[in-house]
Amino acid sequence: ECISVEAKRPRNIGHHRKFFGLLTLVFNNQEIYPSLEVLLYELKLGIGHSMKYKVDGETREYALSMDFFRMDQVEFEGFYNRAIDWLLAKVIPGTERESLETEVLEMAR
């Protein structure tokens, strides 16, 4: 008899909320993206959380889901760190990572 086991660290709901707090904070302090949804979509593309495919020889890209139950905590931690790097570089350049993270934590209190 063959048995297969998959070990996953369940997603931390607090970290998930922290991400959306971060995203909301950045969105409210920028003038590039017209909505939070557009910012999230562009962030996913920007960090490579996407799938590329071809239609009629043309390469297209689609942002992947960050569904709570499909992405475990280890994957989400990588996603979160890449997201912060992208936001700091592309949306709010000149902002220090430490001050951004401190402000996000302050919001959560």
Confidence band (pLDDT; 50, 70, 90) for 85? very high
Residue 10 has pLDDT above 90, yes or no: no
72 versus 84: the higher-pLDDT residue is: 84
pTM confidence score: 0.86
Nearest to 51 by CA among 66, 67, 62: 62
Q: What band does 69 get if pLDDT is binned at 50, 70 and 90?
A: confident
Give the pLDDT mean for 56-77: 92
Q: What is the pLDDT of residue 98?
A: 95
Residues 49 and 36: their CA atoms lie apart, in Å, by: 17
